[in-house]
Amino acid sequence: MVVIGEHRHTQVKVDLQAIKNNIKAEMDRKDPLTELWAVVKANGYGHGIIQVAQAAKQAGATGFCVAILDEALALRAAGITEPILVLGITEPEYAPLIAEKDISVAVGTQDWLDTATTILAANDVTTPLHVHLALDTGMGRIGFQTPTELAAAVTTLNQTNTPFDFEGIFTHFATADQADDTYFTHQLNNWKTLIAAVDELPRYVHVSNSATSLWHQACNGNVVRFGVALYGLNPSGQELSAPYDLQPALSLTAQLSFVKKLAKGKSISYGATYTAAEDEWIGTVPIGYADGYERRLQGFHVLVDGQVCEIVGRVCMDQMMVRLPHEVPVGTQVTLVGTDGDQTITLQDIADYCGTIHYEIACGLAPRLPRVYVD
């Protein structure tokens, strides 16, 4: 794979030990009989799917969750042999490939099972296809909604000559990261009603994402889908405190590429939205919105030599400017996410400024930002 950006001093650093420590903290807390599956979709939430999966496996993860089939195939190609569940709906036309690669898939309709049965038979596939039935208990995304629909699917999966392995059943909670548990309880009751239609539960029964396991541990089932907390990020943002310290794994740094003295009255960047009120030292940082550093971050700040430096003018596609406290040499490190001296900028800080969640900021960091791994 060609890395675009390796000759620019701007990079994402991923602390794999932090990821291992977050997994260890969760494993020490959960029931020993409950497995932990690492959620590495979206390129490991921007951290790197293969490297994170390998670190998670070393820390004790016994399975993996992804969003799309290609992510599962990438893990298999990298030598990951543990169970891999594709959480999104995969087109049944790929059923033979899914079976061949020993991948598990989410299924939410009888039509999917019927179509996949025909396709598997037409391709003479004899390897069972692992199925996890998705139940829509209130997320409104995918899954069976009624006991009748669910019971019919289970009947199909339990037929004598079925091409499927009924491996799992699951749901996803929409508000597990909120202090008000009213809707969570509503979903939990729906879950109980639905699974009552299943006479014999499959091997894997799972409802817990990071938030559910952190704040509703009694619901865990026998698998925790450990997602955003794996990366040291609190699923609730700042609404709820995690039961243990989460260690952020990601930092983002660059170097000043240009430094100049800007005269009073001169303006900066597109639209001339910033004008110097007095003579100022301005540094240019080689990162922009094409790298996933949002254009709306004008007015936010970075750290240079442990000092807070405001982003002045609009963030450009590939560069942005910051106001320096004094003249600083070209090549000085700029911390956009992470700690410098006694100052820290978190993904949550950036998300709060942008009016979004840290998931979006992490996942939006572009591939041309090289990932550097430390352990």
Q: Can you give the pLDDT of all 375 residues of the chain as single tens digits?
A: 567 899 999 999 999 999 999 999 999 999 999 999 999 999 999 999 999 999 999 999 999 999 999 999 999 999 999 999 999 999 999 999 999 999 999 999 999 999 999 999 999 999 999 999 999 999 999 999 999 999 999 999 999 899 999 999 999 999 999 999 999 999 999 999 999 999 999 999 999 999 999 999 989 999 999 999 999 999 999 999 999 999 999 999 999 999 999 999 999 999 999 999 999 999 999 999 999 999 999 999 999 999 999 999 999 999 999 999 999 999 999 999 999 999 999 999 999 999 999 999 999 999 999 999 999
1 carries a ligand binding annotation? no
Residue 270 is a catalytic residue = yes
Catalytic residue, candidates 192, 261, 264, 270? 270
pTM: 0.96
Catalytic residue, candidates 20, 41, 94, 231? 41
Residue 101 is a catalytic residue = no
Question: What spatial distance separates the first Cα and last Cα of the chain, rounded to whole Å?
Answer: 23
Reading the block at residue 197, the tokens are 């239609």
Nearest-angstrom CA–CA distance, 225 and 210: 7
8 carries a ligand binding annotation? no
Nearest-angstrom CA–CA distance, 40 and 64: 7
Domains of the chain: 31-231 (3.20.20.10), 250-374 (2.40.37.10)
Q: What single-letter DSSP state applies at residue 220? A: -
Residue closest to 28 by CA, chosen among 281, 216, 224: 224
